[in-house]
Amino acid sequence: MQSLLAVLLCLTVFCCQAEDANWHLWKNKHGIQLEYKKHDTGIIEVKGTVTVKNTSADDFMSLLSDTARAPQWLENVTNVTLLTRLSSSESIVHTELDSPWPLSDRDIVSYSCYRKINNTQRELVISSRPDALPTQPDLIRINAFHAHWLLTQNAENELHIIHRLYADPATLVPHWLTNKVSLQSAFKTLKAMREQLVKNQFRRSSSTSIVGKCETLHSKHLD
């Protein structure tokens, strides 16, 4: 039994080290760390880490639910609209993006669910639902998209945030350009988000998502 446990422990450590080895540091500045790893598509997934003082997970969700303020901290976002509230923890959202020249403007229709992991951790899982809204003639729909926010509250009333994001623009855009924009946008978004939270610059609303079950998430077998 002890030998079996030792083997399992070694395999766990090896898998974790292999996962970490896939990530490459892009920038560590102003208290924000940004890493990336390349997918088989040639497009990178971005992972950002930041800690915000005197902030709670509820504060973060209030900021995220304040759609009118979204363009002030979500880089390249021009408009966010709540389309459907599926449950107290689930929603369908439409996001419009102002892509930098020479790219055409884009939009994303996404499903999100907010759930509890343990007493100190919450997570927000977001995935694309492109068929939930008809396409618009002046916008290119992003079909392959997923994002994840891991929120950890520590004893010092600090919120440790890990954000992961992957988006495929689904057009013949050079990968080097897509990847560059993704990294720059993620860094600016995390920096602006921290400022909004520190200065308490958001509207608290009764429509803010609360932790619950991700019934739709499970039924669709999404990550």
Residue range 88-107, pLDDT digits in tens: 899 999 999 998 776 789 99
What pLDDT does 203 receive? 76
Residue 10 domain-assigned (yes or no): no
In a domain, 69, yes or no: yes
- What pLDDT, on a 0 to 100 scale, did the predictor assign at position 3? 47
The count of domains in the chain is: 1
pLDDT category of residue 172 using cuts at 50, 70 and 90: confident
Whether 9 maps to a domain, the answer reads no
Is the pLDDT at 186 greater than 90, yes or no?
Answer: yes
Q: What is the mean pLDDT of residues 202-213?
A: 76
The answer to whether residue 6 is domain-embedded is no
pLDDT score of 2: 45
In a domain, 12, yes or no: no
pLDDT value of position 223:
38
Is residue 187 scored above 90 in pLDDT? yes
Q: Domain of 169: which CATH number?
A: 3.30.530.20
User: Are the beta carbons of 100 and 77 closer than 8 angstroms?
Assistant: no
Domain membership of residue 80 as a residue range: 22-219
Average pLDDT of the chain? 86
C-alpha to C-alpha distance for 15 and 58, rounded to whole angstroms: 33
Q: Residue 40 falls within a domain, yes or no?
A: yes
Q: How many CA atoms lie within 13 A of 185 on its CB side?
A: 21
**Is residue 183 within 8 Å of residue 36, measured between CB atoms?**
yes
